[in-house]
Every structure is written in structure tokens, then in C-alpha cells.
Structure 1
Amino acid sequence: MRFILFRLARAVRRAKIPFFVLCVLIVAFFVSAIKWMHSTYPQMAAEARAEEMTFWSMADKLTAEDRSALLNYGLRTGKLPRVLPWWEHDRHMCSAVVVKYVALFTGIKLVHASAWELRTKRACSTCVSNARKLTTVWDATERFAADGSLAPEMRVALVQEVTTQAYDPNKVYVLGLLWEHTSYWEKITADRADINSHVALLIRGRVIHFIDMGDGVYPLRLETLDEVFVRGDLKPVWVAEVHEKTRTEGRRGGLVKKDFRLPVTTREVAFEQRVWPWTSLRRFLVFPSRPWYAPDRWHSFFQRADTLVEKSLLYRWRNGYDPYPTKFVEMEVTQ
């Protein structure tokens, strides 16, 4: 992008175009570009949605053992299927990533929600809430101050507690974390739900989460539990175990949570996906979805504009990359 602007500026200097004429041409160009994006967006969005649904319909056909084999491959190689749309990579999508990987590796469908509402979110009055699929096994909410602060010695104690829990390697857990640099604290306190601003997935002793630390590393991270807290800016708030949907039993209709365990297998299932390198992809994520200088009431407008611009550009000029895996392949595991 910088190279293009530099070449354009040099061409303008050589052509000696008057400044006023140049401004008119620039405005006309951007107006035309926005009109083109707006007119072609519905069809493009439908195509993108169809591509996403094709992947998830393929994933839904996986057996429980297939899902566990896919996880085996990902943990061994450190390569996870990319399931988050490109144009959402510059947003705080930690909760969406957790929901998507829970669905992919377990087949359990959670309701999409913000990180601080994930434990209890219900899509509608007659829908099954996440509270019926998540059981809290550790909670330190009451040890935080009203403003989310925590004494250094208390943070050390909480990290020690959460990292030494007896996690079952064949069960799946969701971690609620509070990031010190979050810009959502006012929203968190206003919603009066949980106090965590970040969520992560703990599965087979590894943590999968999506967070941009500003270090140039791809935001989708696969780490150990100790590595999550070594940077010192994440505080543990709660841990919840993932269950299958609860059912009612008995005359009084008591709720019973069905235990979920990952099948144990030595199989591995790989995936085919031409992944867009982060060093190249991040150059296109230039439109702010939540600019710091804009009032909160404008954020929805900027988010829609961000989706319009980045989705149009990235989907149209994708350079042969795949937003989702296109195929699952059985691997031959040598003993």
C-alpha cells in the first residue's frame, strides 16, 4: 500500500497536476470505489456465506473420532485450521474463535457472544443458553476489585491456582481471562455479566486463543497454560467445563448435564488450506472498526464500513488463498 501511494505521488509530481484538480480526482475515485463496493456487496456476501457454510457442512460430517484425530494433527504440527474470516482479523474476536473451535473439535454448538457474556448467553427466550453447556469448575470473580484491579501477589496466587488444577486431558475447558489493556471495560461493567474481557480454549493441555499483542505475531495462538500467563498482562477469572446439552429427567424436570469426553485415538486427520500469510494479510486490515477518536454511538457505523471495505477487497483479491479448509485428509501414522 505504501509503495503504491509513493509511486502515485511521484507520478503526480511529474505530471504537475494542480492541487485542486488532484483533490477532486481523489474524492471522485473514492466515491466511485465506495459505490462499486456497495452495489456488489450483497452478491459477494452471499458467496462468502456459501463458502463458509460449505466448510461447516463438511465439518458436521466428521465423527467424534475424526474430530479428535483432527485435533491430534493440529497439536502435533502446531497448525490449526483457520476458521475466522480474513476481514475479522483486526477485531477482538476471541469469543468467536472459541465458539468455532469448540464446534469443530467437539461438535458442540455454543451461542456466539462477547467474552464477558459467553458463560450465560441465550440467543432467544426459547433457545438453549450456554449456561446449559458450560459448568464452572473454578471462579475467582469475587477476588477482583470493582474496577477489575488485582494486587500483584493475588494475581500470582490466582495463576498458581489455575495452572495447577487437575484438568482431565480428555475434557474441554473454556478460560475466562481479563486482559489489562482491554478497551471494553466500560462495556463490561455496563452489561453486568462477567468481568473477563478475553476467553480461551483449553484442550488436551494446550490453549487456543485469538489475541493481537501488537508484536507482529499472528493473533491465533497455540500455547501452554504457563505461556499464557508468562507475559503478565492476562489474569485468570474463571474456568468452565464444556458439556453436551443438558436434558430434563424425572417428573420435576431436573436438568442433567451430559458429560463430554474427547475420544482417545492415535489417528490423525489433516486439512488442506492455502493460508494467507499474516505479514501480507495484515497490510489490508487498515480500516478502523472501532476507532479511538470516534464516540461509542459511531462504532456500529465504522464496523459496517470496515466490513464493507475490507470484505470487498479481501474476498475479491484473495490471491488464491482459502478462508476455510477445503478438504480433510486421513494421515498415515507410523508407529
Structure 2
Amino acid sequence: MIDPLNIARDVIVQEIAGLEALKNSLGEDFKSAVALLGGAKGRIVVTGMGKSGHVARKIAATFSSTGAPAMFVHPAEASHGDLGMISKDDVILALSKSGETAELGDILAYAARFDIPITAITAVPGSALANSATVALILPDAEEACGQTFAPTTSTTMMMALGDALAVAKLRQRGFTAGDFKGFHPGGKLGAALRRASDLMHGKDALPLCHPDASMPEIIDVISNGGFGCVGIVNDEGLLKGIITDGDIRRHLSGGLDTKTAVDIMTTNPRTAEADTLAGDILSYMSKNKITALFVIEDKKPIGIVHVHDCLSIGVI
């Protein structure tokens, strides 16, 4: 009896072998492709037919989400009017394993007519696509994971990985940051994790603060009214010098707490965040250190506070 788990593992092993071969095959042509795509004054037009077309759609979406304007153009539709979507300032990224996909013919001819550069991803170096390309990225010879049916499996995995590699190389060269990425992903859990402390924090009016000389009744009152389970201790210059949590107070109950002031029980050098710290990093830091609130500081002065519930309420995980 055929064991589907063994088949699945064989497929994954086969595709990993293809990716290893792809990694080892990369050379100067890849650098040239990144430079060509990075030099586009217009958009990156990604195209392909069949399974390669599905991969091309994903690659276009990846480029767009990382700040490189891109779009997918279906090669068959291009022959019926969509060629007008491609401008002289664009760069074409065309995918075809064989390099002989008939539907790509009109796009290749159009690119030649208007001197539009082409980056090709294909497995055949002497193919029509490779010969038409400004830069050709040749996929290494690797068996399709489906065996005798030869349906695109390993080859499309390599195409997908190569598209990701081009996009990531391009964004890193441009210094694209997580903050930039957030602008293209405002929704969902990813957008939530990429929000900053300044987006989540409670402002100065809500800050639970006391002076180092504050008495225990005053400290307890501020903690109770603040609702954050802590109080920040600031000096005369407004600098954050320490923090007291409700847990700190409980731990000192048996040590003559009523005679002590804030400076006696506060934790010095408290953990803090900057205004541009990502929400995902804040939640991770809180979880790791088992704390529920962080003061947000600027020039060592508290300007806000973020509670763990502020992160969870917007879907940060």
C-alpha cells in the first residue's frame, strides 16, 4: 500500500534538492538582475503562463508589498490589449520553464520594439525567452517532484524562491525597513505587529508618576488610579529613575512598608521602550521578562506607557 507520508517526505526532499541546486547556481547574473529591476523608473511587470503565471502573480505581490511597484500581466490578455499596460519605463520579469511559451511571444516582441529590458527566469539557456532577455536567470537541472507526469513542482518552487530572493535583495539594497513595510500592511496581525509604541501608548496625561520622596499611601493611590499596575519614579528634571509595581509593594509588606518612600523600594534602571519600538517587539519583550507595562521614553523622560492589553487588543501576537 502506498504511504502518503512517505510520498510527502519524498516530494519535500526532492524540492529541497532543487533549492540547494538553485542556491549553488547563483552568480553574477543574479546581481545583474537585481540591478536591472532596481533601476526601473516605472513598474516591474511580472508575467508567465500556467503554473509559472501563478508564481508570477505571487512574485509581483511580494515586490509591491516591499515598496517596489509591480503588477502581473497575463500574457494571453496582453495580446488582446493589455500590452498597453506596459510602459517604456517598466522592466519585465518573465517566467517560463521551457522558455518557449507561445503566449509570451507578443510581450517579447513588444519589449524589443520599445527597448524595454527583460529579466527571464527559465530552465533552458538557449530558449526564445533566454535569448530575448537582457538578463537570463537559468534554473538548474532538477527533477520535478511529481515524477513521470513532469507537472511543474520543483521548478515552480525554485521560481518562487528566486522571485523572493530578487525582492529581498532589492529591498535590502534600498534600506527598506520594518517601518516602511508597515505602510503597505496596515491590516491584520502583521499590520498590528508593525505598529509602533507611539501608536499604542497612553500619553502624558495618563502617566502614573511619583517623586522619589513619595510616601507609600501616595504611591498606592497612584497605582490604584492609574490602572497599569505600576508607577514611574521621576526626579525634579522629569527623568525616569525607577519603577514600582504592585508586586513590589506586596513583597515589602512585612518590612515596615508604611515608613518607606518610593526611593526605598523602587527598581532602578527600569525596562523601557522608545517611541518607534515595534508593537511586536514590545509584546515579545514583555512576555520574555514577565512584565505587563513599559514606559515609553524620550531623552530619558517618560512620554507614554504601553500595557500588555494594548498590544493584545489590536491583535499583536
Structure 1 length-normalised TM: 0.22
Larger relative CO (CA 8 A, sep 6+): 1 or 2?
A: 1
Larger Rg belongs to: 2
TM-score by length of 2: 0.23
